Amino acid sequence: MIHRIIIWFWIGAFSLLPFQARQTLADEYGRTGHLVAFITSDKKQYEIGEPIYITISLTNHTTVPLIINKRLNPLLDLDWDVFYENLGGNLSMKKIPPIRLSPDDFVRLEVNEEFGKRFDDLTTMVDGPMKSGRYALRLSYRNKEKPKGDETWVGLTVTNLLWIEIKSSKKI
């Protein structure tokens, strides 16, 4: 009888482990059930040399307000996956020296409230030219710092997969 109690105790304890995890990867739509990150572009198709603007939005889908990093510097606070289909590989982003977050870099995000930011031209942030072809983009937003206490969102969320195409402007 005591063995059964111990076994049920351990089953119950281990079944609660997923609820204790603070870091969650998102599904293909960017949903984590906590903080949803989603990216969009102004268009799906661009000409070579045309600026490409990407917008990220973070939406609080918890039951409590969260403190998030509003700085969202695309080269500091986000990890980019830019897959170039024609070459079958990732493009790298430019590197800049790290800058510590300050308390002013955080904002309170109420339940179901959204915070968005439009980035500068993607072609200026990629380390090298963007040629004609199809590109898949995905961003990871991670925060490890808690300058404002327990309400500060800490973890990792991954955006949706966004496809864009760059076409040559020359007619053959």
* pLDDT mean across residues, the chain: 82
The dihedral sign for the CA sequence 43, 44, 50, 51:
positive
* pLDDT (tens digit per residue) in 36-73: 999 999 999 999 999 999 999 999 988 888 889 899 99
Query: Which two three-digit tokens encode residue 67?
Result: 């403190």
What domains can be seen in the chain, in order of their start residue?
A: 24-167 (2.60.40.2970)
| Percent with pLDDT over 70 in the chain | 77
Q: Are 80 and 158 in contact (CB under 8 A)?
A: no
Query: Which two three-digit tokens encode residue 9?
Result: 């105790």
* pLDDT (tens digit per residue) in 70-129: 999 998 899 999 999 877 788 889 988 988 888 889 999 998 999 999 999 999 999 988
Separation of alpha carbons 134 and 132, rounded Å: 7
